[in-house]
Amino acid sequence: DTGVSQDPRHKITKRGQNVTFRCDPISEHNRLYWYRQTLGQGPEFLTYFQNEAQLEKSRLLSDRFSAERPKGSFSTLEIQRTEQGDSAMYLCASSSGLADYNEQFFGPGTRLTVL
Amino acid sequence: AQRVTQPEKLLSVFKGAPVELKCNYSYSGSPELFWYVQYSRQRLQLLLRHISRESIKGFTADLNKGETSFHLKKPFAQEEDSAMYYCALRTRLAFGKGNQVVVIP
């Protein structure tokens, strides 16, 4: 499968614990995006990378959230001191080129449940 | 700020009937607009984008800057069109809440 992959697919954790998610984009895609989707809502933008540079972060991304893309390939999203409100589907997407209208290819998502 | 509004949450249509999903946006710059679709148990995928001016699976959408709209239309709904449809704006995609379309055979 050469599409975007995410790991794990499901994560259940207790409030206050740290969690880390991984996203592997389509090979050679230079842009990588993170979104969060809660029940009944569309995906909400969190942050995006162009190669290894994090170019934009949403105000939704509190200090407890950090994302990295150290070598411009895979990316990780870490949530520290999780809260119940962090329960959501976390989506990763990637695209090629620099144009804003390029198609984003989405991964299957990581569903986080905070107890 | 950029915002996308999709007013109808659930749309039920009979097979063969026309479908129109409304999308209005708010953005001060030049908009790039998309429709994404998510079929049952599949990942989110691009349906069409305004810059391509194309018809995909019989769907079309026209950008109306005066009305700040990008409505999605299909003249004859098919059962396989049952899905969640999201209108989205620009690179750092601002999504609407989505439309659940159910096509009744």
Instruction: Tell me if B37 sits within 8 A of B85, measured CB to CB.
Output: yes
More confident residue, B27 or A68: A68
Residue B91: its pLDDT value, please?
A: 60
Residue B27: its pLDDT value, please?
A: 86
Contact A33 B86 (CB under 8 A): no
Asked if pLDDT for residue B87 goes beyond 70, the answer is: yes
Contact B43 A108 (CB under 8 A): yes
Give the residue among A75, A70, A87 at the shortest CA–CA distance from A34: A75
Contact A56 B92 (CB under 8 A): yes
Compute the 3-state secondary structure of chain A and give helix, strand, coil in percent, each to the nearest 5. Answer: 5, 50, 50
* Chain B residues with CB-CB distance to A54 below 8 A: none
Q: Averaging pLDDT over each range in A93-97, B21-25, B64-68, which range is the top one?
A: B21-25
Q: To the nearest whole number, what is the mean pLDDT of chain A?
A: 93
Q: For A46, name the nearest residue in chain B, comparing CA atoms only.
A: B92
More confident residue, A32 or A102: A32
Residue A72: its pLDDT value, please?
A: 85
Q: What share of chain A in percent tops pLDDT 70?
A: 99
Q: Residue A34 is inside which H or E element, if any?
A: strand A31-37
Cβ–Cβ contacts within 10 Å for residue B56, how many? 15
Rounded Cα distance, A53 and A55, in Å: 6
- Whether residue B86 lies within 8 A of chain A, CB to CB, comes out as yes
Residue A54: its pLDDT value, please?
A: 92
Give the residue among A32, A51, A50 at the shortest CA–CA distance from A90: A32
Residue B50: its pLDDT value, please?
A: 86
* Chain A residues with CB-CB distance to B25 below 8 A: none
Average pLDDT over residues A104-109: 95
String of b and e for A8-38 (b: at least 16 CB within 10 Å)? eeebebeeeeebebebbbbeebbbbbbbbbe
Average pLDDT over residues A35-57: 92
**SS3 category, B81:** helix
Average pLDDT over residues A54-75: 91
Give the residue among A26, A10, A8, A6 at the shortest CA–CA distance from A111: A10
Q: Give the β-pairing of B83-89 and B99-104.
A: antiparallel
Average pLDDT over residues A48-58: 92
Contact B86 A43 (CB under 8 A): yes
Asked if pLDDT for residue A46 goes beyond 90, the answer is: yes
- State the number of CA atoms in the 13 A half-sphere of B44 facing the CB: 27
Asked if pLDDT for residue A1 goes beyond 90, the answer is: no
Q: To the nearest whole number, what is the mean pLDDT of chain B?
A: 91
Angle at A96 between CA A39 and CA B54, to 5 degrees: 75
Contact B46 A104 (CB under 8 A): yes
